Each structure stands twice: as structure tokens, then as C-alpha cells.
Chain A
Amino acid sequence: AQTVTQSQPEMSVQEAETVTLSCTYDTSESDYYLFWYKQPPSRQMILVIRQEAYKQQNATENRFSVNFQKAAKSFSLKISDSQLGDAAMYFCAYRSGAREDFGNEKLTFGTGTRLTIIP
């Protein structure tokens, strides 16, 4: 079974600075997807960024980018120019990419990192 580990329960960053959230995962698969979700106090789960394991290029979405290290099974999220609206819980998640395996479509989540933005 796949596991996702977020070792930083809490992080804080000064507004306008850059912060990196860590995520590691364990899998024996070669084809998979990784995600970062954001959960603000409104509790809505919002997709931040998605990475396909077969792609070597790191995904980016505006101020959000990832550092995907497949061999190390590491998938960190970098937030540049932090804004007050970035304050939230951030969850790293894993999903199998095996297309013939309909029994393994679920998303496995880490325990989350609470990010605080200091004005």
C-alpha cells in the first residue's frame, strides 16, 4: 500500500517570502500522479498543483511550483511571494496511474501541513 508522509505539521512564513512544504511517499509503482491540495478555514479542498510521475519537468502554477524527485520519492511544494490568502492546511496526495487497475483509483493523503502567513 502506498503511504504519504508530511513531516512538518506546521510552518510559517513572512508575507512576500518563499516557503517550501515537504512531502515524501512510498510506492513500488512507476506510473502515478501526485497532488497538492489546499484547505483554507472554509474547509473547501482546492487543487493547487498536479504532477505526473512520467514527466521529468516540474509542474508550476503561477506562484506555486513543485520539486519532484522521483528516485528519492520526494514531492515538495514551493510557494513564492507568499500572500495572506495562502494561509491554509496543505495536503500532499498520491494516486495510482495503473489504468487497468480500477481497484486503485483512490487518492491517499498525507496528514497535512498548516501554513501560517505572518503579515
Chain B
Amino acid sequence: DAGVIQSPRHEVTEMGQEVTLRCKPISGHNSLFWYRQTMMRGLELLIYFNNNVPIDDSGMPEDRFSAKMPNASFSTLKIQPSEPRDSAVYFCASSFSRLALHFGNGTRLTVT
């Protein structure tokens, strides 16, 4: 099992550009989560899916953020347009039922 796979590992972009983060959950897991980690706010849940359906997107900061899960093996988090305050580490995690979340290695996003 390869675990949760995120890409890219690092992303540096200029303010105003579109950023797309990608995630492949563990096969067989039915829930997928996007978290953001910053020094100031810690780990924040942005959105999560159950069986590919968005369940709670109340943590998505604003309309510039969007997430999709077109199938059970792929999800994207898009920021358009990006701003310097979006700089953070973005984690994708997956789980089966109420078991523990398994995290990917995260994407460190820097917006200049």
C-alpha cells in the first residue's frame, strides 16, 4: 500500500496565479479530507468528502478555494486566484469508516 499520495510536494507561485493540489487516497477508503496547517492557526479542516460527495465545506476560507472528488481515487484542491496569505502546508488524508485518518506528506505552498 503506497499510502496517501499528494502532489506536488512543493509549489511556489506568484500572487494571482491558479494553484491545483492533487491527492490520491488509499484504495478502499471512503472518506477524504483536506487540511491546512499554518503556524498561526494550526491544523484546520477545509473540506471533507464521503463516498466522493462533499459533506462539510464550512472550513473553505472563501470562494477562491474549491475542491473536487470526481472518483474514489482522486481529489483536487484549487485556489484561484492565489494570495500570499494562502501560503501553508496543505494535507490530504483518507480513512475508512471511523478509523484513523492516514495523511499524505503534504504540499508546501508558497505564494509570493
Contact = CB atoms under 8 A, between A and B. Distances in A.
B105 A33 contact: no
Contacts of B102: 47
Given A45-B93, A105-B50, A111 B42 contact: yes
B72 to A, nearest CB: 16
Given A95-B98, A105-B48, A109-B43, A44 B103 contact: yes
B106 A99 contact: no
Q: Give the interface residue-count category, chain B.
A: 20 to 34
A106 B33 contact: yes
Interface string A24-47: 000000000101010000111111
Interface of B: 31, 33, 42-43, 45, 48, 50, 55-56, 89, 91, 93, 95, 98, 100-103, 105-106, 108
